[in-house]
């Protein structure tokens, strides 16, 4: 199977997916979403027991690609809804992945990149890594990621991160329980492989059953919350503030909000 924006490699029972757009800081494009979904499906059906997710270059994933961001301004309500459903599919595929997942966060993981990094079972991050649910800063709403974040850190912390849209570092992410371990850059991948080796000492059947158990526990609640999140995610794109937020971001100026 060939991909344009990711690399998929296997080493025994360990699969590694590398986001491979270093010149774009591994930004999320429509093409990358398609590649990543296909890559995840390939790993899910393989004999691999552990999946490592990382990024090429200096960033893990810088969020939505600028060209795709521009394209959001001209989409129909039906296209907005489809976009939201596609993003849900990506995040939920990773969150409910049948194999154990390890994110090796080698740099910035912003907006959608934060989602990808923190939805894995284990998240290792370099000290320089930055995270942020920055959607409100461009007139967007972090509807989909909020569903998962509430389960991870609780309501008070989620309100802080989602309403301020501020960036936070690996140390704070670790304090919040979002990052499992902070690792020196030179040791990041070797530490991820060491963790994978530790996990492989366990029964593969038990790992698979435990992940299924955790997924089953969360499914009913996620189903209800995500249905609402998809609607909110699509609806905000019809607002004047969303258009202004995207335009000002692309034009590198301060937004002028109208609240509409």
Are 118 and 131 in contact, with CB atoms under 8 Å apart?
yes
Are 126 and 180 in contact, with CB atoms under 8 Å apart?
no
Are 116 and 94 in contact, with CB atoms under 8 Å apart?
yes
Burial of residue 224 (number of CB atoms within 10 Å: 0-12, 13-18, 19+): exposed
Residues listed for the chain: 260
Which residues, in sequence order, are bridge partners of residue 8? 17
Residue 50 CA to residue 12 CA, distance in Å, equals 10
* Pick from 195, 211, 12: nearest CA to 98: 211
Are 85 and 33 in contact, with CB atoms under 8 Å apart?
no
Catalytic residues: 135
Which residues, in sequence order, are bridge partners of residue 242? none
* Pick from 88, 4, 17: nearest CA to 46: 17
Which residues, in sequence order, are bridge partners of residue 125? 105, 182
What is the enclosing helix (H) or strand (E) of 109? strand 109-110
């Amino acid at each position: 199977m060939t991909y344009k924006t990711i690399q998929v490699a296997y080493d025994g029972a360990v699969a590694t997916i590398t986001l491979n757009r270093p010149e774009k800081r591994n930004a999320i494009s429509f093409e990358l979403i398609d590649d990543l979904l296909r890559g995840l499906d390939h790993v899910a059906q393989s004999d691999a027991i552990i999946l490592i997710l990382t990024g090429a270059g200096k960033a893990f994933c810088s969020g939505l690609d600028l060209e795709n961001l521009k394209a959001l301004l001209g989409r129909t309500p039906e296209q907005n809804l489809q976009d939201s459903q596609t993003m849900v599919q990506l995040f939920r595929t990773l969150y409910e992945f049948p194999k154990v997942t390890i994110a090796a966060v080698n740099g910035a993981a912003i907006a959608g990149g934060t989602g990808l990094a923190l939805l894995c079972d284990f998240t290792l991050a370099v000290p320089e890594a930055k995270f942020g649910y920055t959607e409100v800063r461009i007139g967007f709403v972090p509807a989909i990621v909020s569903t998962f974040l509430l389960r991870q850190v609780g309501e008070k912390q989620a309100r802080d991160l989602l309403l301020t849209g501020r960036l936070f570092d690996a140390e704070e992410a670790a304090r919040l329980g979002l990052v499992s371990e902070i690792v020196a850059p030179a040791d990041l991948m070797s530490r991820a492989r060491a963790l994978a080796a530790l996990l492989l000492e366990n029964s593969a059947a038990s790992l698979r059953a435990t992940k299924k158990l955790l997924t089953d526990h969360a499914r009913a609640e996620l189903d209800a919350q995500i249905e609402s999140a998809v609607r909110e995610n699509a609806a905000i794109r019809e607002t004047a503030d969303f258009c202004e937020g995207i335009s000002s971001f692309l034009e590198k100026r301060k937004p002028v909000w109208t609240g509409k």
